[in-house]
Amino acid sequence: MSAPAPRPPRFRGDDAVADGRLDADRDVRWHLAEEVPAALTFNQETSVVMMVTPADLEDFAVGFAVSEGMVPSAADITKIDVLASANGYVIDIRANRLTERAGRQRVIAGRTGCGLCGVDTLEDAVRPANPVTRRFRLDPDAAARALAALPDHQPLNRLNHSVHAAAWCAPAGDILRAREDVGRHNALDKLLGSLLRDGLDPANGFVALSSRCSFELVQKAAAAGVPYLASVSAPTTLALSVARDAGMGLACLSPDGIVTFGAD
């Protein structure tokens, strides 16, 4: 995981640890999750402002640009500048080519749990997911292994117990890398961006999520070519429908073990 970006004056992390009370009679020092606004600009034109955990912001920029269809591919991104300002961060993404979607001046704040920030039509809300290619079959044991190991790859969550994680896993279930963020969509974008920046093909593994599987996460993963998503809770009906259309397999935990959907 890359080092956090320099803090803006208003977000120095001073409030990351707070005094609290436990059981009404014990003082505690509690680590809090950080969230700060980050304005993503494409070729210096503001598109959206998201609330993020201030780490791995270059990964986030690439992942967001690809998963939201702002650039045709990660290869079109030529430079990323992360600048601290008084009110948060400005992340400028320079690209040789932008899509029509990037040209829309949304300038709408994305809340921490938001996966539909700035959409202005129903067609934008539920976009057709990119078709994915499966190069292996996801074994339920591999999904179970990855989800069981996920907490060991969440250093931030061990401190504050309130951030999500997305991990890229080998077909056998070994976690190869992970990213965290206060927003589950951001965690996935950071993970996808880190893979694409390093020239790794997301189709060679699967993604494990600490969150539920919603359709926006399916759309984002499909945009990068991820063939399977494994999550700690069941997918929504729309997530399953979008995954089936994309040819993506899903897996989730249940009291009786791993349940798979279209993973054969």
As annotated, the active-site residues are 114
In three-state form (DSSP H/G/I as H, E/B as E, the rest C), the secondary structure along 83-97 is EEECCEEEEEEEECC
Distance of alpha carbon 122 from alpha carbon 119, whole angstroms: 8
Helix (H, G, I), strand (E, B) or coil at 62: helix
Q: At what angle do helices 215-224 and 57-67 cross, to 10 degrees?
A: 90
CA angle 247, 113, 76 (to 5 degrees): 55
Burial of 111 (0-12, 13-18, 19+ CB in 10 A): exposed
Residue 122's H or E segment, with its range, is helix 122-125
